[in-house]
């Protein structure tokens, strides 16, 4: 890949008359992309080559730049340098096509979805542990499930007890357009759900025939408004203000998944997006701040 970079820089200098400082900027940007591609290719098990660059690699590259703290304008410049390189390679027949702009690379003017830091999520969850009554156990299980899965609020309140498989650690939900998906449950969330279903829910339920997983104080299915009010109450108690909504937690799930190394398609499947372009908005979000040391 570096031989092609050298050839491109020679072309820019001799035939296009680019100044030396411009050539050095191009070389810095392209060398950085090659370094990333070589490392990413090793992880994916293929040799690094310009013809192997695809949308997944471009997406990962943009995420890496953002994690390193580059400004949106700098990210856009680096991606522009890479695309200029591809136009040169396409003209030489090294690659067939110029790849599409990396998702999120040219969206600097659009506002990124609001999300919480890792520390803020932990503060919210710890707030639910300050009480041990049935309602508190329900709240803890519900909010942990909301964050662990990235479910929409409508999907959450629509869950029935039978939708949770405690033995296999999965939850089954129905999303938009009746699209179903099964989502894995991390151990902590699984433990909270088990405690709620076996210990707390029987104390809240008034009708043994009630199928709903999460119940209000009347023993009936919890509503969207009820879930929102519960979340707001715990958020305010945790000094997170009024910015926390079920959608905020959903956004946080997506952002944290991406910056933990999950691919864009994995996040798309987790959130139940019909089109990956919907998921791409999370790429422009800044890297989440890590949890503070205790």
Residues 122 and 213 in one domain: yes
What's the confidence (pLDDT) of residue 112? 57
Residues 153 and 85 in one domain: no
What's the confidence (pLDDT) of residue 175? 82
Domain presence at residue 103? no
Residues 166 and 280 in one domain: yes
Domain boundary among 77, 92, 107: 92
Domain presence at residue 60? yes
Separation CA 133–CA 141 (nearest Å) = 13
Number of alpha helices (DSSP H) and beta strands (DSSP E) in the chain: 13, 3
Separation CA 219–CA 154 (nearest Å) = 18
Instruction: Report the half-sphere exposure of 212 (CA within 13 A, side-chain side).
Output: 21
Q: Are strands 164-165 and 180-184 parallel, antiparallel or unpaired?
A: unpaired
Successive 10-residue mean pLDDT values, the chain, 294 residues:
82 78 83 79 61 71 78 78 79 69 46 79 91 93 95 92 94 85 94 96 93 94 91 92 84 88 84 80 63 45
Residues 62 and 153 in one domain: no
Nearest to 100 by CA among 79, 121, 119, 115: 79
Q: pTM here?
A: 0.62
């Amino acid at each position: 890949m570096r031989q092609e970079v050298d050839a491109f820089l020679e072309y820019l200098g001799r035939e296009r008359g680019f100044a030396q400082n411009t050539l050095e900027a191009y070389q810095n940007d392209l060398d950085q992309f090659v370094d990333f591609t070589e490392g990413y290719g090793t992880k994916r098990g293929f040799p690094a080559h310009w013809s192997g660059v695809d949308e997944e690699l471009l997406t990962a590259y943009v995420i890496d730049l953002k994690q390193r703290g580059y400004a949106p304008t700098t990210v856009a410049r680096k991606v522009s340098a890479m695309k200029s390189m591809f136009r040169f390679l396409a003209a030489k027949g090294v690659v067939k096509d110029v790849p599409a702009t990396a998702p999120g690379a040219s969206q600097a003017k659009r506002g990124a979805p609001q999300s919480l830091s890792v520390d803020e999520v932990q503060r919210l969850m710890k707030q639910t542990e300050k009480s041990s009554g049935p309602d508190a156990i329900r709240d803890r299980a519900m909010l942990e499930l909301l964050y662990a899965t990235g479910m929409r609020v409508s999907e959450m309140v629509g869950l029935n007890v039978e939708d949770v498989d405690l033995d296999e650690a999965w939850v089954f939900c129905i999303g938009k357009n009746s699209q179903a998906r099964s989502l894995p449950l991390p151990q902590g969330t699984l433990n909270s759900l088990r405690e709620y279903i076996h210990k707390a829910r029987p104390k809240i339920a008034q009708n043994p025939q009630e199928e709903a997983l999460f119940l209000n104080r009347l023993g009936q299915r919890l509503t969207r408004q009820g879930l929102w009010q519960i979340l707001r109450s715990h958020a305010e108690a945790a000094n997170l203000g009024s910015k926390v909504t079920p959608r905020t937690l959903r956004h946080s799930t997506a952002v944290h998944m991406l910056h933990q190394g999950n691919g864009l398609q994995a996040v798309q499947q987790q959130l139940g997006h019909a089109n990956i372009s919907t998921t791409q908005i999370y790429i422009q979000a800044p890297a989440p701040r890590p949890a503070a040391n205790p």
